[in-house]
Amino acid sequence: MEQNLKKIMIALIVVVVALAGVLAYVWYQKSSLVKELTIEKDELTEQMVALQNDYATLSSDYDDINLQLDSSRLEVQLLIEKLAKTEATNRSKIRQYEKELGTLRSIMRNYIVQIDSLNTLNKKLTADAAAARREAEESRKQQAELKKTVESLTGQVAAGSVIKARGISIDAYNSSDKITDRSSRVVRLLTTLSLVENDLAPKGPFRVYIRVKDPDGILLTNDTQRTFEVDGEPMICSASREVDYQGNEVEMSIYLNDIPAYVKGIYTVEVYSTQGLLGSAELMLR
């Protein structure tokens, strides 16, 4: 009887040791897999950050492309944030984010092609205009035909010389100089924007005007208001600022102070130069 009991004990010990070995192997395998997946997630994060940096250095002189670039930059940022919140073991989500990263890479390559093509076209138009003017001076016999060509090309170059803006936004600040969305705490509004780089644009002083309207569409003005003209039509601005534009991108801010009170609703800012409307933005106060 005692002999049988020893055999049973030995058998149980063997089983326990075997189970412990199996559990240790399973734990090791799981730990290795989690480590590999974590490395994959870190590598994917590095790729996303690298793409984000590539987008940050990409810019153009064309508003439509800049708007698309801003949208793609936001998509990359959101993708990085989603990946950070996702467990490395969630393979389906990780694979989905890899596909989205590939799509955003392809989109960026398309932007580069578009920008290069437009820049090449812009340079060609400028060169063609110069050639057309030389030909007009050299040959009076072809004056009538060359005049049409010069007028057409000159018009295209003039359109390309217009100073444009991007990244227009408007924020409200309280008395502590902090951004707020509470209408009762607002003491001033700040409009920010960038004048885009344009080698064809005239150099020198350049004034930007803002027209801020309250939720009822009423123009906000103070003692510093002034008038300006767009295509011969006089307009009143809420505030303005002059910068020295030398063809490079210029970031600028325009404050609107001394407004008695603000109400709840959507405020709109329209940004102008004497060449026309540069763009607009909205602000919601509650």
Residue 256: phi and psi, rounded to 5, are -120, 110
pLDDT computed for residue 278 by the predictor: 95
Q: How many residues does the chain have?
A: 286
C-alpha 159/C-alpha 155 separation (Å) is 6
Domains and CATH numbers, the chain: 1-160 (no CATH), 165-285 (2.60.40.10)
Q: Are 216 and 205 in contact (CB under 8 A)?
A: no
pLDDT computed for residue 146 by the predictor: 64
Tokens of 43: 């590598």
185-212 CB burial, b ≥16 within 10 A, e <16: ebebbbbebbbbbbebbeeeebebbbbb
3-state SS track over 109-160: HHHHHHHHHHHHHHHHHHHHHHHHHHHHHHCCCCHHHHHHHHHHHHHHHHHH
pLDDT computed for residue 137 by the predictor: 79
Beta strand pairing call for 226-230 and 233-237: antiparallel
pLDDT computed for residue 19 by the predictor: 63
- List the Cα angle 232/228/201 in 5-degree steps: 80
Tokens of 199: 């080698």
- Give the global pTM: 0.47
- List the Cα angle 280/284/286 in 5-degree steps: 160
Q: Are 250 and 195 in contact (CB under 8 A)?
A: yes
From first to last of the 286 residues of the chain, give the pLDDT tens digit.
666 666 677 666 665 555 655 555 444 444 554 577 677 777 878 887 887 887 788 777 777 878 887 888 888 888 788 877 887 677 778 788 888 878 888 887 887 778 887 778 788 877 777 787 888 778 777 776 766 655 544 444 445 678 999 999 999 999 999 999 999 999 999 999 999 999 888 999 999 999 999 999 999 999 888 899 998 899 999 999 999 999 999 999 999 999 999 999 999 999 999 999 999 999 999 9
